[in-house]
A and B are shown apart, each in its own frame.
Chain A
Amino acid sequence: MAARIDFASLTLKDALDLAVLIEDEAKERYEDFAAQMDQHRTPEAAKFFRLMAVNEAKHGQELAERRGQLFGDAPRTVTRAQIFDVEAPDFDEARAFMSPRQAMKAALASEVKAQAFFVAALPALKDAKVRALFEELRDEEVEHQALVKAELAKLPPDSGLSDDDFVDEPAAQ
């Protein structure tokens, strides 16, 4: 949660470490979602979530390399406990029998959420380099949204079915 980060005193090293943690969390959540979809025989949504996990891992790797070039093996002082659900979709965004459209909409909402996180943090940042990094990350989230929207546009029209069509009616006991 943003409240756990002291943005005013954030250094570039810590900011890069946080960015890596944010990408790691999102990657893990997408992997979990993909596994849930596999388990419930929803392969198309699983495939999309796996693609998102690969993308998040790639971004995380790029940020980790940049951090390594700038700060080497200097120990990390920020922790996973300081961030929660910044770019990762909420746990209950996954649903049984998700269509690819629903999966993409969940991912899009997460990219919007991540952008909002970086936008909200900007006024509190004091370090110019950290500010530049956050602006860059904010803009990347906008690019990711455009990518997901492009994928959404490729889909055939929505079937119009809702989650409720797949839920068993409560049966009298």
Chain B
Amino acid sequence: MSATCEFQAKDYKSDLKPIWCPGCGDYSVVQGIYRALAAIGRPPHEVAFISGIGCSSRIPGYTTAYGFNTVHGRALPIAQGIKLANPDLLVLAAGGDGDGFSIGGGHIAHLIRRNIDITYIVMDNQIYGLTKGQLSPTSQKGRTTCTSPYGSLENPVNPLLYTLAYGAGFVAQASPTDLAGMAAIIEEAIRYPGFAFVNVQSPCVTYGEEAQQIKGLKAISASLKELGHDPADRLAAMDLAQHYGEKMHLGVFYRNPEPPPTYDALIRERQVQLSQGALPKERILDLFIKK
């Protein structure tokens, strides 16, 4: 680790120009990530950024970190493999609400229960934007899209309650209405020793509804800090998280004050234990040869 080097946000910005729609909320998310990484100060080659498929999943390409734009919904399993293979890497995973809570919805629970030291940033725009505006798992009930022409009959997934209920040690929400706040939340999530989830309300300017654009989000936003919320209180966090879709609470909902050991740390510990009684490499075949 190059702890003596100081990095600036621009050091994490790649030469690749984003092709998101002008005005997309994801432009601010990538800025927030640059700032958070600069504050953390790990050099880009010590960071791996993994994503699935979707508009927001293009994000690793816009950073100078190692990146892997994987398959739909599979950012988390691949990020997990990377973290276990090289625990010294700072591993970030990102994607949209569809990638995270529909196609890849089954993976989150397992990363949370294993408590792998990964920061997962979901750019939640309540729509499948890349494929031209279909209903997504976080779309509001009644929402009219090309796949719900008479209005959606489904209740949305609540990403905050979902992750809190599975026992995530760090759950937060941010939005482009407060870039500095978003950068600070992402930084805090990265610094949390364990699985950290950040839901970013990132408006889709092309297929999103007016109320979900920045002006609409500003109107329903409230700072958890200013509300006096104690991020160590998990039940209070769950209570506040129930307002997802009506209010936009920004800040840290829950941070486990006593983070349990991470899966990657436990694996390393077990490797050390087992290696004590293990055969030397040159005798490894003895395990398979009957004498």
Contact = CB atoms under 8 A, between A and B. Distances in A.
Contact of B178 (A37, A84, A171, A173): A84
Contact of B22 (A33, A84, A90, A167): A33
Contacts of A168: 132
B77 to A, nearest CB: 27
Interface stretch (A70-78, A92-100, A115-123, A133-141): A92-100
A36 interface: yes
Most buried by A among B20, B22, B179, B203: B22
Contacts of B205: 92, 95
Interface in A35-76: 35-40, 42
A169 to B, nearest CB: 8
A126 interface: no
Interface string B211-244: 0011100000000000000000000000000000
A167 B180 contact: no
A129 interface: no
B132 A39 contact: no
Given A96-B22, A167-B206, A170-B133, A90 B214 contact: yes
B22 A95 contact: yes
Interface string B11-22: 000000111111
Contact of A1 (B17, B25, B176, B178): B178
Contacts of B146: 170-173
A37 B27 CA distance: 13
Interface string B93-136: 00000000000000000000000000000000000000111100
Contact of A173 (B28, B147, B203, B213): B147
Most chain-B Cβ atoms within 10 A of its Cβ — which of A90, A92, A93, A94? A92
B78 interface: no
Contacts of B183: 81
B23 A91 contact: yes
B126 to A, nearest CB: 15
Nearest to A89: B23
B145 interface: yes
Interface string B170-184: 000000101110011
Given A96-B206, A170-B133, A91 B17 contact: no
Majority SS of interface residues in chain B?
loop
A149 interface: no
- B interface bracket (residues with beta carbon within 8 Å of A): 20 to 34
A84 B22 CA distance: 20
Interface residues of A, number: 31
Contacts of A98: 22
Contacts of B25: 91-92
Contact of B180 (A80, A170, A171): A80
A73 B278 CA distance: 61
B17 A94 contact: no
A96 B193 CA distance: 40
Contacts of B145: 170
B18 A93 contact: no
A92 B203 contact: yes
A32 interface: yes
Given A90-B215, A92-B205, A171-B146, A39 B28 contact: no
Contacts of B180: 4, 80-84
24 contacts: A4-B180, A33-B22, A35-B17, A36-B27, A37-B22, A39-B17, A39-B18, A39-B22, A81-B180, A81-B183, A83-B180, A84-B180, A91-B28, A92-B24, A92-B25, A92-B176, A95-B21, A96-B21, A167-B206, A168-B132, A170-B146, A171-B146, A172-B146, A173-B147
Given A91-B25, A95-B22, A98-B22, 15 more contacts: A36-B22, A38-B17, A81-B183, A81-B184, A83-B180, A91-B23, A91-B28, A91-B214, A92-B24, A92-B205, A93-B23, A96-B21, A96-B23, A170-B132, A173-B147
